[in-house]
């Protein structure tokens, strides 16, 4: 059994983050689909506009947002967004906007006990 420091709180993810916040799409943006994240690295995102983007382009990224792949989560292709510019992720990711330190939450979300839950 894991022992946590006495000042730590346990709770549900929704207590520590906003899940899939709603945002309006920018006119043009860099689109990140499920194949554009390998491990924790962003590879080959593509430029899109509102008119040309696939219907799954809905998750508007802000610095500190965590994108957790909901399709095959055991692959751990998740991304902690910290870039400049307009990026939009596929709805194949859960967008998690941390109310606590996003780096800490990102590490927790990549642990086996979360992924396999």
Residue 116: what pLDDT?
77
Asked whether residue 87 is assigned to any structural domain, the reply reads: yes
* Count of structural domains within the chain: 1
Asked whether residue 9 is assigned to any structural domain, the reply reads: no
Residue 74: what pLDDT?
85
Residues in CB range of 30: below 8 A, 6 or more apart: 45, 46, 47, 48, 85, 86, 87, 88
Residue 113: what pLDDT?
78
pTM: 0.89
Asked whether residue 97 is assigned to any structural domain, the reply reads: yes
Asked whether residue 2 is assigned to any structural domain, the reply reads: no
Asked whether residue 6 is assigned to any structural domain, the reply reads: no
Q: Which of the pair, 9 or 84, is modelled with greater confidence?
A: 84
Asked whether residue 10 is assigned to any structural domain, the reply reads: no
Q: Mean pLDDT throughout 16-42? A: 96
Residue 47 structural domain: 15-115
Burial code (b: 16+ CB inside 10 Å, e: under 16) for 35-47 equals ebbeeeeeeebee
At 87, the pLDDT band (50, 70, 90 cuts) reads very high
């Amino acid at each position: 059994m894991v022992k946590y420091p006495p000042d730590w709180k346990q709770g549900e993810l929704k207590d520590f983050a906003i899940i899939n916040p709603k945002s309006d799409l920018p006119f043009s943006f860099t689109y990140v689909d499920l194949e554009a994240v390998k491990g924790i690295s962003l590879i080959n995102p593509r430029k899109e506009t509102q008119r040309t983007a696939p219907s799954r382009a809905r998750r508007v990224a802000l610095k500190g947002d965590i994108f957790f792949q909901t399709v095959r989560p055991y692959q751990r292709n998740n991304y902690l967004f910290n870039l400049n510019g307009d990026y939009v992720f596929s709805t194949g990711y859960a967008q998690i906007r941390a109310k606590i330190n996003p780096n800490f939450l990102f590490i927790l979300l990549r642990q086996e006990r979360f992924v396999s839950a």
